[in-house]
Amino acid sequence: MKVKKQEDTIISMYFINRQDAAFKLLKKMEKIRFIEPVVVVGLARGGVEVAYYIAKGLGRPLDCICPKKISHPMNPEYALGAITEYKDIALNEKGAELMGIDHHYLMELKEEAYFKAKNKSQIVRKGRKEIQVEEATVLLVDDGLATGLTMLASIRSMKNKKAKKIIAVAPVASSLALKLIEGECDEIIVGLEDPFLSAVGEYFEDFSEVKDEVVINYLKT
């Protein structure tokens, strides 16, 4: 498994916005232009914006996946795991135990997150059919990896859909996130690895929320 990283300092790797991040990542993808077939899959919602510009730059089709974080009920920012609309899951079981969440309750939270992921997928797809990824190289794109759990769940979904090769892509990632996913995908392309990453938005001048309507429009084009 190969990890591609920029050698720039943290300060020089700030991104203007998600579009700027996509353009910087495209510079590391020249060889992908010669691979067929390739499908670019963005993690909704923010990852779809990055994925849109990557797909456009590579001349490849765009699709999305809608993983949902399984959050601690008293601390929504604390990730207990993630699940996709296809029921593929990545759990932080040690973290759940430390936070006093037993297995039964964790499974309840998982089901709640699954229905949210499924609902989000229905909203942004609006009946649009999925692009088949079987035997294709899949670029799984997010706008940043803090815990890596949503990316890991998405990787597992692409595996179950028989993707030939899975490349995880993000402008910035924590060392913890990279360690979590490196054994489950074929390659990782990141702009910056930061062992002290706490919030992805800190690396962008503009990290505005991406609305459902924007995702819908990206998927139409």
pLDDT band at residue 69 using 50, 70 and 90 as cut-offs: very high
Q: Which residue, 150, 141, 147, is CA-closest to 171?
A: 141
pLDDT in tens, 152-168: 999 999 999 999 999 99
CATH of the domain at 87: 3.30.1310
pLDDT in tens, 184-211: 999 999 999 999 998 999 999 999 999 9
The whole-number average pLDDT for the span 53-64 is 98
Query: How many domains does the chain fold into?
Result: 2
Residues 97 and 29 grouped into a single domain: no
Residues 169 and 189 grouped into a single domain: yes
Q: C-alpha angle with apex 17: 75 to 56, nearest 5 degrees?
A: 115
pLDDT band at residue 3 using 50, 70 and 90 as cut-offs: low
Q: What is the pLDDT of residue 100?
A: 86
Inform me whether the pLDDT recorded for 1 exceeds 80: no
Q: pTM (2 decimals)? A: 0.92
Residues 110 and 160 grouped into a single domain: no
Where a domain ends, among 101, 123, 145? 123
Residues 107 and 203 grouped into a single domain: no
Residues 107 and 173 grouped into a single domain: no
Inform me whether the pLDDT recorded for 9 exceeds 70: no
Residues 9 and 28 grouped into a single domain: yes
Where a domain ends, among 123, 138, 155? 123
Residues 193 and 214 grouped into a single domain: yes
How far is Cα 162 from Cα 143, in angstroms, rounded to an integer? Answer: 24
Residues 115 and 134 grouped into a single domain: no
Residues 179 and 85 grouped into a single domain: no
Range of the domain at 85: 69-123
Inform me whether the pLDDT recorded for 45 exceeds 80: yes
Exposure of 87 by Cβ count < 10 A (0-12 exposed, 13-18 middle, 19+ buried)?
A: middle
Residues 188 and 138 grouped into a single domain: yes
CATH of the domain at 198: 3.40.50.2020
Residues 107 and 12 grouped into a single domain: no
Residues 97 and 194 grouped into a single domain: no
